[in-house]
Every structure is written in C-alpha cells, then in structure tokens.
Chain A
Amino acid sequence: MRQGRERVGYQLIVVSVLVLIAAVLASLSLGATGITLSALGRVLHAYVFGSTDAERVTEQLVLLDIRLPRTLLGVFVGAALAVSGAMMQGLFRNPLADPGIVGVSSGAALAAVATIALGNSLAAPWTKAFGVYALPFAAFLGGFLTTTLLVLIAGRRGQLMVGTLLLAGIAIGAMSGALTGLIAYASDDRELRDLTLWSLGSLSGASWPKVMAILPFMAIIFLALPRVTRALNGFLLGEAEAFHLGIDVERMKWLIIFATAASVGAAVAVAGIVGFVGIVVPHFIRLIAGPDHRFVLPCSALLGAALLLLADVIARLAVRPAELPLGIVMAAIGAPVFLHLVLRRGVGGLE
C-alpha cells in the first residue's frame, strides 16, 4: 500500500501523457471542415516537398495554420490553469483555492472587458497602439497589476501573509467585478454580446502570434515547477513546519505567486475566462495519487491540457458549423464529474 500510492503516482504520469497525446490527436483531426488525421501525412509531405495542389493547400492551411496553433494554445492554457490551481491550493493549504480567489483572474478580466467595451472611445489610443494584441496584452497586464497590488498589500512587512493575501484577494476581486459590471451596464448591445462571449471563454481566435505571445509565460511556469514541488509539500504541513524542514518560505511564496500570475494572466489573455480546470484537475489527481506535489503538479499540467483540448473539440463539433463557448462546455463536463467525485470519494481531507 505504501509503495502502492507512489507507484500509482508514477503510473498516473504515464497515463496522463497517453491521454494528452490522444487529446492532441483528437484536436488536430476533428473539426468543422472534415479534414481528418490521415491528411496530416499528406500535408507534411506536401510541406516538405512543396505542392501546388489546391486540396493540399487547403488541408495544410487548416491543419498547420488553424488547428495546430489552436491545439497548442489549448495545451498551454489548460496546463497553465490546472498547474496554477494546484499551486494556489498548496500555498493556501486549501483544496478549494483557485487563481480566481486571489483576484488574478478578475483583474485580468476587468482589463480585457475595458478594452472590449471602451476600445472605440476611452481606450482608443491603447487599441490603436497594440492592434490585435490590445486585448491579450491588457488582460495580462490586468492580472499582473492585481497580483503586484496584492503582494504589496499582503507583503508590506517583508513577509507575505497568506491570510491577508486571501482576504485582500477577495476584496480586490469584488472590486474588479463591480467595475466590470459597471462597464457592462454602460455598454451597447453589440459590445455586450462581445463581452458575454469573451467571458465564456474560447480558443476560436487561436493563431501563431498568440501561441508565441503565451510561450514566455509557459517557460516561466515550467521553470518554476521543479523548484516549488518540495516547498509545496512542506507548505501542506504549515509555514512554520515548512521552515523547519529547510524550505526558504518567503522566497518560495513569492515564486509561486509570480508563476501563478504569469500563467493565469497569459491564459485569460488568450482564451478568456475558462473556469473549473484549476479546481477539478488537481482534485481528481489527489483522489487517485494523493497530495504529493511530485505527482500533482506534472499530472495537473498534462491532464489540464488534455481536458481543455477535449472540451474545445466538443465546443467545435457540438453545434457545427458554429461553436459553443469553451467555458460552457467545460462547466457542463466539469461540474457533473466533480460532483460525482465528491459524492463517491469524499472531499479528500477537507473535513
């Protein structure tokens, strides 16, 4: 049993890799145009040797310029959301914590909503300056500024106080929510529709520039992961215990906060608000392999990516040729699965 749980952890990593590969293949081969995976070989051949065949060119366009960036974006966003959820839960020693809870998501959302609604009036210079990047960049900046503000409030005595951080996060989240509501209230019908669609989340705007834009943030989070794994395990015992175990508590807290801000800001920037990944995925993994972050973090990244891709495939296929918002699909899949887990397995030590 003892070695059992560790072995389960390693097995889960392997299974997660396989699930992600399957999800990537599904995401590449399923879609509105009916171009399937068998086209991939032809496209690669045509790409390498050059082809002017119109059908090949169409297939190439769909696979390489539409589905591939969309799939990569899905992988990045899913992994970032799930990992930042897992890190927040570890830092706050609370399985219900989520990037939303410290206001990072709502700060990013406020900035994005402001850009959408005020793009033609107050924020016109901003949209003019950044063009297509105005929205993603604003969202990232919003998330980053919120985090910085939080850290300044909760860290003003040189120590990052988690309790203060949590409460300040809830307050800042409520404030951003109010401002977002105010902007929505003042918007006209067309803007309101854009806002609603954006807030439901989507990968439909995927493009290579967006993939490139999110890449540095992914690099930050994946460089941070191996450094915070042991610290997060120690944090589960309590901050004082973590210190006694030899963990540089303050440095680790800052590192986790900034990695989370970077990943959530980037994810919201390119995909809007997609809920549930950050809570469901780490929770599912803990139920199977226990709370050891050596398994929780890598499996969260892999399965978070897979879950997001599968939800996106469903979003693309369900109402062809139109698309469902990703957030709706995610909630429709995530909520019942989550409820089932909670009812069958309990809340995993929460009580």
Chain B
Amino acid sequence: MLEAREIVLERRGRRLLDGIDIAIPSGLVTAIVGPNGAGKSMLLKVLAGELAPTAGSVQLDGKDLRTFSALALARRRAMVPQSTNLSFPFTVVEVVRLGASVPGFDGIKTRAHELADQALQCVGLEGFGARLYNELSGGEKQRVHIARALCQLDAAHRAEGETTVLMLDEPTSSLDLAHQVRVLDEARRQASIGRAVLLVIHDLNLAAAWADDIVLVSAGRIRARGKPAEIFDNGILSEAYGCAIQVNRTPAPGVPYMLPHLIAAASRRGEAG
C-alpha cells in the first residue's frame, strides 16, 4: 500500500497540491485524471519520492518515503516518464538494461539480457534491441521506457509481501490505438501479478475502460475518487474541466464513455459553413 496523507506542495509561493489524501492499493490500476495544470504530474512526483511535499507524508507499507534511500526505493517503485530524448546514442536494449543495473539487484549480470528481452516483448518491441533509441518514433520511445521500468521491477530483489509500484506518466499520450490497448493491457497484467499500478492519463475513455479506480484532481485537490462507473458523471466532469461533457454508457457492462458536447460543436461548424 502506497499512502499519502495531507500532502501539501508549494513552489514559489504557489500551492500546487492541497490536502491530498490517497491510498494506492496493490493489485489495482489507479488512474489520476484531471485538467491541464491540475497537479497530476506533481502528485505523481510526490508519490514517487522525487519531490518532497511541503507538508504531509507519503508512506510505502507504513514507512515514510523520506527514510528510503534512492536505491531502496528503486527496488520497490519504477517510474515511466513522458518520453525523453537522449543526448547520446544508446541502443534500445541499453536503455532497457539500465533498469536492471541497480546494484544489489538479483543476478543482474546473468539475467539482465533475459529480463530486457522479456520486457521488450511485453511492450511489443521484440527485435528492436539493437536499434538506436533516438531514431525511434515517439510512441516507440515511450514503450522503451515502459520496458525499462518493467525490467527494473522484475530485476529487483524483494522480500515477500512488499508493495511494488509501477508509475506511468501519460503512458498512452503518443501511442496509436493498438498500442494504447497493448500498454494498458500490460498495466492490467502488472496489477494482476500484485503490483500497485498508478498512471496519469488524459484520455477519460481509456481511464474508464482500463482503470479500477479513478482519482479526479483539479486545482491541486482531489475532487472525486472511486470506480469509473461512479465517478464519471456529467456534473462532476463538466465542473472539473470547465466545459460541457456528456457521459454515455456502453450497452453490455455499462462502461462510461465521454464526449465533449459534440452536437453543439457540429452545429457551430454548420453555422460557420
């Protein structure tokens, strides 16, 4: 269990996060959604131990993150950033293997190659190992980082019952539909093997379909928290995003799907034409 209590984060006198209480349980996919500038990425950084909160604390299995060394934390938590460029010509497999290079990790010498291959397979990049990272497309780069994070969690040696967390910052933002599905399926698989999966995601429809638990953040506060079917509601979303949003439901299991008010937009286009 990763738990945040009364988190306040201030930067240059601005309050970016305000009174955040949140628990991220193992075995579930939790999605943080919310408008731009709501503090989603900041919240993720605080939960990852990258930013120290101005007040409040983050605890992993009841132990304050501040008492973890960077190394101890890396064994329990992996983070996928939004895609980054590298100034040096790393190959794909070299980037992925960085995940398995944490000292004290189990069998990094013998298993690094194997783990890297396995992780690349999970994100659909088998055969990409020798390609240069910087020559990949944005979506491929993003998947390389996901593979690196998987490799990190797979390589780490942990005691029984310790929570491990996979964090993804907008993992689907530059992926095509097929790869969005693939990456989110992998996130589900990670949850199914007992990891806590936490992602920041902009696409509400993907969040509704793949996440177990939604955390709606706006203006640095949690506005709503719960199952997609409970949270996604015209009033809550329209208020949080400041624009009219129409929530519909699919026939069979009743998964909510969201549309900005299309009819009004279409009619505006009609008037213009």
Give the B-binding residues of A (Cβ under 8 A). Answer: 1-5, 93-95, 230, 233-234, 236-238, 240-241, 243-249, 286, 290-292, 348-350
Cβ-defined contact, B98 with A234, below 8 A? yes
A-B pairs with beta carbons under 8 Å apart, 16 shown: A2-B91, A5-B130, A95-B87, A95-B88, A237-B95, A240-B79, A241-B81, A245-B102, A246-B72, A291-B88, A348-B89, A349-B86, A349-B89, A349-B90, A349-B132, A349-B134
Partner of A94, one of B73, B87, B89: B87
CB distance from A56 to the nearest CB of B (A): 52
Q: By CB atoms of chain A within 10 A, which of B74, B88, B152 has the most?
A: B88
Residue in A closest to B77 when the chains form the complex, CB atoms: A244
> For the complex, what is the distance from the CA of A2 to the CA of B126, rounded to whole Å?
12
Q: Within 8 Å of chain A (Cβ to Cβ): is B78?
A: yes
Cβ-defined contact, A292 with B94, below 8 A? yes
CB distance from B15 to the nearest CB of A (A): 20
Q: Within 8 Å of chain A (Cβ to Cβ): is B39?
A: no
CB distance from B84 to the nearest CB of A (A): 6
Cβ-defined contact, B71 with A237, below 8 A? no
> For the complex, what is the distance from the CA of A31 to the CA of B81, rounded to whole Å?
56
CB distance from A240 to the nearest CB of B (A): 6
Q: Within 8 Å of chain A (Cβ to Cβ): is B101?
A: yes
Q: Within 8 Å of chain A (Cβ to Cβ): is B69?
A: yes
Residues on B with beta carbons closer than 8 Å to the beta carbon of A4 = 130
CB distance from B74 to the nearest CB of A (A): 3
Give the A-binding residues of B (Cβ under 8 A). Answer: 45, 48-50, 69-75, 77-79, 81, 84, 86-91, 93-95, 98-99, 101-103, 113, 129-130, 132, 134, 152
CB distance from A96 to the nearest CB of B (A): 9
Partner of B88, one of A230, A243, A349: A349
Cβ-defined contact, B86 with A230, below 8 A? no
> For the complex, what is the distance from the CA of A240 to the CA of B48, rounded to whole Å?
10
Residues on A with beta carbons closer than 8 Å to the beta carbon of B90 = 236, 290-292, 349
Q: By CB atoms of chain A within 10 A, which of B72, B84, B99, B101 has the most?
A: B101
Cβ-defined contact, B86 with A248, below 8 A? no
> For the complex, what is the distance from the CA of A247 to the CA of B99, rounded to whole Å?
11
> For the complex, what is the distance from the CA of A2 to the CA of B48, rounded to whole Å?
32
> For the complex, what is the distance from the CA of A247 to the CA of B69, rounded to whole Å?
9
CB distance from B96 to the nearest CB of A (A): 10
With A1-B130, A238-B81, A240-B81 as known contacts, state yes or no: A245 contacts B99, CB within 8 Å: yes
Residues on A with beta carbons closer than 8 Å to the beta carbon of B113 = 2-3
With A237-B98, A290-B94 as known contacts, state yes or no: A246 contacts B75, CB within 8 Å: yes
Cβ-defined contact, A244 with B50, below 8 A? yes
CB distance from A69 to the nearest CB of B (A): 37
Cβ-defined contact, B50 with A2, below 8 A? no
CB distance from B159 to the nearest CB of A (A): 17
> What is the predominant secondary structure among interface residues of chain A facing chain B?
loop
> For the complex, what is the distance from the CA of A233 to the CA of B94, rounded to whole Å?
10
> For the complex, what is the distance from the CA of A242 to the CA of B72, rounded to whole Å?
14
Residues on B with beta carbons closer than 8 Å to the beta carbon of A233 = 98, 101
> For the complex, what is the distance from the CA of A349 to the CA of B49, rounded to whole Å?
31
Residues on A with beta carbons closer than 8 Å to the beta carbon of B130 = 1-2, 4-5
In the A-B complex, the 4 residue pairs with the closest CB atoms: A246-B74, A291-B88, A1-B130, A349-B89
> For the complex, what is the distance from the CA of A233 to the CA of B88, rounded to whole Å?
10
Cβ-defined contact, B88 with A244, below 8 A? no
Residue in B closest to A1 when the chains form the complex, CB atoms: B130
CB distance from A85 to the nearest CB of B (A): 14
Partner of B71, one of A246, A291, A350: A246
CB distance from B176 to the nearest CB of A (A): 24
With A2-B129, A349-B132 as known contacts, state yes or no: A246 contacts B102, CB within 8 Å: yes
Cβ-defined contact, B50 with A243, below 8 A? yes
Residues on B with beta carbons closer than 8 Å to the beta carbon of A3 = 113
With A94-B87, A243-B50, A248-B71 as known contacts, state yes or no: A2 contacts B93, CB within 8 Å: yes
CB distance from A232 to the nearest CB of B (A): 10
Excluding A291-B90, A349-B89, 20 further A-B contacts by CB distance (< 8 Å) are: A2-B113, A2-B130, A93-B88, A95-B87, A233-B101, A234-B98, A236-B87, A238-B84, A240-B45, A240-B79, A243-B49, A243-B50, A244-B74, A246-B102, A248-B70, A248-B71, A286-B89, A349-B87, A349-B132, A349-B134
Cβ-defined contact, B86 with A236, below 8 A? yes
Partner of A286, one of B49, B50, B79, B88: B88
CB distance from B123 to the nearest CB of A (A): 17
With A244-B50, A248-B71 as known contacts, state yes or no: A236 contacts B88, CB within 8 Å: yes
Cβ-defined contact, B79 with A244, below 8 A? yes
Residue in A closest to B92 when the chains form the complex, CB atoms: A2
Residues on A with beta carbons closer than 8 Å to the beta carbon of B50 = 240, 243-244
CB distance from B205 to the nearest CB of A (A): 29
CB distance from B82 to the nearest CB of A (A): 11
Residues on A with beta carbons closer than 8 Å to the beta carbon of B98 = 233-234, 237, 245
Residue in B closest to A5 when the chains form the complex, CB atoms: B91
With A93-B87, A236-B86, A349-B87 as known contacts, state yes or no: A245 contacts B101, CB within 8 Å: yes
Residues on A with beta carbons closer than 8 Å to the beta carbon of B72 = 246
CB distance from B134 to the nearest CB of A (A): 5
> For the complex, what is the distance from the CA of A243 to the CA of B130, rounded to whole Å?
26
Cβ-defined contact, B70 with A350, below 8 A? no
With A243-B70, A248-B70, A249-B70 as known contacts, state yes or no: A348 contacts B88, CB within 8 Å: yes
Residue in B closest to A347 when the chains form the complex, CB atoms: B89
Residue in B closest to A242 when the chains form the complex, CB atoms: B70
